[in-house]
């Protein structure tokens, strides 16, 4: 929270952080920064900051971000990975650098509109859940002009993940979300690719976090260059979707051995009950496989339970310990109060700043010269 001392009273205002991971976004980062600045000036109940994470772009993303920052009012912090490390790494860097009571993860090309992002903020402000998801797959949501191969894979992956997850969440792979700041900064996240989105939901559900969805529109109209540039319909995209499907195993690992165990158990029961002695060997083999796979299923369930207990314990310990330093080598370009200049800080300074994750500085307003008249 930011404390503002006014005339005769002290007022407290919530803080908010926009986290903007960028890779080869020289054509969009400037307009996105200006759009977020306009939104920040509309949402005056919050004191906002924008954190740009340049994920080792080999174009002029860093330069465009620096120039655009100089034209807006909202404070901007620019962090640049020394190499491309992936969307997940960019998210982790931005989240740990944030100071907001609410943290908004935003895609650089605004495939979800500013209106959707505004409604995420409103939903968080209303009841302060741990996670608010912009969902194109829930009732009232929509997808517009998304390439068909990608749309089919994404919908299939989300339906499968919805089936395996603890709660009914329609969109588990989407990036655009609002997070409770202290909660998301305290989470131990490891993924470096897009699968960080599923990791966050999985670990949030382990912690029994409150997660809500709001309908939103994923709109790729006018983003044809993104398809060709990032090859989202390529083999890389397919592998990303397949990894998301594998992540469903995290929620229900015991089903993998349990399903064939039940099949073999049924075969053994039928053969024994019908007295097919010629199939005696198969009946015995099916019985053995039933018990072996059943034990494996129970062991998977036990291992999962141990993991969840340890993660809960680790979360509790981390909440009272300094935040771990960012693992991805990065440089912060320090801008002044007018977003001017770009002075690199050393890697040690950046890691030390992230490790302490200091609270925002109090802002004290000087009394007006006309006070008391």
pLDDT tens readout for residues 283-317: 777 777 777 777 676 676 567 655 665 665 666 65
Please provide the average confidence, as pLDDT, over all residues in the chain. Answer: 80
Between 316 and 343, where is the model more confident?
Answer: 343
Judged by DSSP in three states, 252 sits in coil
CB 346 within 8 A of CB 174: no
Name the residue with higher pLDDT: 109 or 276: 109
Residues 6+ apart with CB under 8 A from 360: 1, 2, 15, 47, 99
CA 337 to CA 18: how far, in whole Å? 17
Radius of gyration of the chain (CA): 25
What would you measure as the largest C-alpha separation in the chain, in angstroms?
106
On the question of pLDDT at 366 being above 60, the answer is no
Tell me what pLDDT residue 18 has.
Answer: 98
Mean pLDDT of 159-179: 90
Tell me the two tokens of residue 148: 């068909």
The answer to whether the CB of 35 falls within 8 A of the CB of 106 is no
Average pLDDT over residues 249-260: 71
Q: How far apart are CA 64 and CA 26, in angstroms?
A: 6
Give the span between the Cα atoms of 232 and 217, in whole angstroms. Answer: 19
Give residue 362's pLDDT: 33
Dump pLDDT digits (tens) for 183-237.
999 888 888 888 899 989 988 988 889 999 999 999 988 775 555 544 444 556 6
Share above pLDDT 90 across residues of the chain, in percent, rounded to a whole number: 43
Residue-level length of the chain: 373
Tell me, what's the pLDDT at 360?
37
* Best CA proximity match to 173, nearest among 193, 144, 187, 148: 193
Chain centroid, CA 150 distance in Å: 20
7 band by pLDDT with thresholds 50, 70 and 90: very low
329 vs 76, higher pLDDT: 76
Query: Per-residue pLDDT for 130 more than 70?
Result: yes
What's the CA gap between 74 and 169, in Å, rounded?
A: 33
pLDDT at 13: 84
Report how far apart the first and last C-alpha atoms of the chain are (Å, whole number).
31
From CA 166, how far away is CA 172, in angstroms rounded?
Answer: 12
> In the chain, count of helices (H) and strands (E)?
12, 13
Query: What are the Cα distances from residue 269, in Å, to 57, 107, 227, 291?
Result: 61, 55, 54, 13
Supply the pLDDT for residue 303: 72
Q: What is the pTM of this model?
A: 0.78
- 99-106 average pLDDT score: 97
* 108 has pLDDT over 90: yes
Q: How far is it, in rounded angstroms, from Cα 121 to Cα 132?
A: 9
The structure tokens 């997940």 sit at 88
pLDDT band at 341 (very low <50, low <70, confident <90, very high): confident
Residue 342 has, within 13 A of its CA and on its CB side, a CA count of: 15
Nearest C-alpha neighbor of 91 from the set 101, 76, 81: 81
Q: Does the pLDDT at position 355 exceed 70?
A: no
Task: Name 142's Cβ contacts closer than 8 Å, sequence gap at least 6.
Answer: 136, 215, 217, 218
């Amino acid at each position: 929270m930011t404390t503002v001392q006014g005339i005769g009273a002290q007022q407290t205002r919530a803080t908010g952080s926009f986290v903007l991971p960028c890779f080869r976004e020289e054509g969009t980062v400037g307009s996105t920064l200006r759009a977020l600045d306009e939104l920040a000036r509309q949402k005056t109940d919050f004191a906002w900051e924008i954190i740009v994470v340049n994920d080792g772009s080999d174009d002029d993303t860093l330069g465009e971000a620096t120039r655009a920052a100089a034209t807006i009012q909202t404070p901007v912090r620019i962090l640049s990975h020394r190499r491309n490390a992936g969307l997940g790494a960019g998210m982790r860097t931005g989240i740990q650098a944030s100071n907001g009571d609410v943290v908004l993860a935003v895609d650089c090309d605004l495939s979800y509109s500013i209106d959707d992002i505004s409604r995420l903020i409103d939903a968080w402000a209303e009841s302060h859940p741990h996670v608010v998801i912009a969902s194109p797959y829930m009732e009232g949501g929509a997808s517009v002009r998304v390439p068909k191969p990608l749309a089919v894979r994404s919908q299939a992956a989300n339906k499968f993940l919805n089936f395996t997850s603890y709660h009914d969440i329609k969109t588990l792979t989407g990036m655009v979300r609002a997070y409770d700041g202290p909660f998301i900064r305290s989470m131990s996240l490891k993924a470096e690719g897009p699968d960080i989105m599923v990791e966050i939901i999985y670990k949030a559900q382990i912690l029994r976090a409150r997660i809500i969805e709001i309908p939103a529109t994923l709109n790729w109209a006018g983003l044809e260059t993104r398809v060709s540039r990032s090859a989202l319909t390529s083999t890389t995209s397919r592998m990303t979707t397949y990894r998301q499907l594998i992540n469903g195993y995290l929620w229900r690992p015991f089903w993998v051995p349990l399903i064939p165990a039940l099949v073999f158990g049924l075969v053994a029961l039928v053969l024994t009950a019908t007295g097919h002695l010629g199939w005696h060997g198969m009946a015995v083999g099916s019985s053995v496989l039933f018990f072996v796979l059943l034990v494996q299923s129970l062991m998977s369930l036990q291992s999962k339970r141990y993991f969840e207990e340890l993660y809960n314990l680790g979360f509790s310990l981390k909440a009272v310990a300094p935040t771990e330093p960012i693992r991805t080598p990065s440089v912060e370009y320090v801008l002044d109060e007018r977003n001017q200049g770009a002075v690199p800080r050393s890697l040690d300074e950046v890691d030390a700043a992230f490790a302490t994750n200091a609270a925002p500085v109090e802002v004290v307003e000087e009394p007006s010269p006309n006070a008391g008249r």
